[in-house]
Amino acid sequence: MKLQYVGDSFRDGLTDGKFYEGKAINMFCIALIDDSGIEKIYSRLNPGPFAGKVSGRWEIA
């Protein structure tokens, strides 16, 4: 699924306004290749640089 990250950009992570191709892992997490070039798992509800710290949100494109 194609997702757009909206929120604070962070180094080697996610960039505000950028589109990513996500793979659904479960109802809480999404796996995607972020700006570091490595596949990582992010929260569906509160993606950000640290677990539990709200930084942004996903919009389905």
φ/ψ of 33, rounded to 5, equals: -90, 115
pLDDT of residue 51: 61
Where are the strands (E) in 8-55, listed by range?
A: 19-24, 29-33, 39-43
Q: Which domain holds residue 28?
A: 2-60
The number of distinct structural domains making up the chain is: 1
Q: What is the pLDDT of residues 9-45, one digit of tens each?
A: 988 899 999 999 999 889 899 999 999 999 999 988 8
Identify the residue with better confidence: 6 or 11.
6
C-alpha closest to that of 5 among 43, 37, 36: 43
pTM: 0.85
pLDDT of residue 49: 75
pLDDT of residue 25: 85
